[in-house]
Chain A
Amino acid sequence: MQRHTLFFVWVIALALLPIIWPDPYMLSVLGAAGIMIIAAISLNLLLGFTGQLSLGHAAFFGIGAYTSALLTLGFDVHLGFGIQLVVEPKPVWIAFLMAIVVTGIFGWGLGRLAFRVRGAYFVVITISFAQVMRMVALNWVDLTEGPMALISIPPLTIWWPGEGTIRLVSKSATYWLVLAVGVVAYLLVASLVYSRIGRAMIALRENETLATSVGIPVTRYLTIAAVISAGIAGAAGGLYAHTVRIIDPEVFLFIYTVTMVIMVISGGKGTLAGPVVGGLIFGLLPELLRGVVEPEVQWILYGALMVLILIFMPKGIVPALYSWLAWIRSGRLPPEKRAPEKHHSETIRPEERRTA
Chain B
Amino acid sequence: MNTPVTDDKAAYALSVKGLTVKISGLVALNDVSFDIEPGKIVSLIGPNGAGKTTAFNVISGYMPPTAGTVTMSGQTITGMSPHRIAAQGLVRSFQRTSVFDQSTVFDNLLTAFHLSGQCSMLQSLLRLPAFQREERRLRQLTNDMLDFLELRHRASEMAETLSYGEQRRLGVGIALAAQPKVLLLDEPAAGLNPSETDDFKAMIRRIGDSGVTVLLVEHDMHMVMSISDYIVVLNQGQLIAEGLPSEVQQNANVIEAYLGTGLKRAEA
Q: Do A and B come from one complex?
A: yes
B265 lies within 8 A of chain A by Cβ: no
B55: chain A residues at CB < 8 Å are none
Q: Cβ of A342 and Cβ of B161 under 8 Å apart?
A: yes
Interface string of B46-69 (1 = CB under 8 A from A): 000000000000001010000000
Residues of A within 8 A of B216 (CB): none
Pick from A188, A202, A224 the residue with the most CB of B within 10 Å.
Answer: A202
Seen from chain A, the residues whose Cβ lies within 8 Å of a Cβ on chain B are 188, 191-192, 195-197, 199-200, 202-203, 206-207, 209-218, 224, 342-343, 346-348, 353-354, 356
Assess whether B119 is interfacial by the CB under 8 Å rule: yes
Cα A159 to Cα B83 with chains together (Å) = 49
How many residues of B are in contact with the other chain, CB < 8 A?
49
With A346-B163, A348-B163 already in contact, the answer to whether A213 and B82 are too (CB < 8 A) is yes
Chain A residues, Cβ within 8 Å of B62: 209
* Cβ-based interface call for B33 (8 A): no
- B98 in contact with A210 (CB, 8 Å): yes
One of A197, A214, A347 near B86 (C-beta < 8 A):
A214
- Identity of the chain A residue whose Cβ is nearest the Cβ of B158 in the assembled complex: A342
A218 to B86, CA, bound (A): 13
Report the separation of the CA atoms of residues A209 and B135 in the bound assembly, to the nearest whole angstrom: 24
Residue in A211, A224, A346 whose beta carbon sits within 8 Å of that of B164 in the complex: A346
Asked if B83 contacts A216 (CB within 8 A), the reply is yes
B35-43, B170-178, B197-205, B248-256: which one contacts chain A? B170-178
With A210-B94, A215-B91, A348-B167 known, 15 other A-B pairs at CB within 8 A are A192-B121, A196-B135, A202-B107, A206-B100, A206-B102, A209-B94, A210-B100, A212-B86, A213-B60, A213-B93, A213-B175, A214-B174, A214-B177, A217-B81, A356-B191
With A213-B175, A214-B175, A214-B177 in contact, is A347–B100 under 8 Å at CB? Answer: no
By Cβ-Cβ distance, the 6 closest A-B pairs, closest first, are: A356-B191, A215-B86, A346-B163, A195-B124, A206-B100, A214-B178
A348–B91 Cα distance when bound, in Å, is 25
Q: Which residues of chain A are within 8 angstroms of B99 by Cβ–Cβ distance?
A: 207, 210
Shortest CB-to-CB span from A350 to chain B, Å, is: 9
With A212-B83, A214-B114 already in contact, the answer to whether A197 and B124 are too (CB < 8 A) is: yes
Complex Cα spacing A356 to B131, Å: 41
Cβ contacts under 8 Å, B92 to chain A: 213
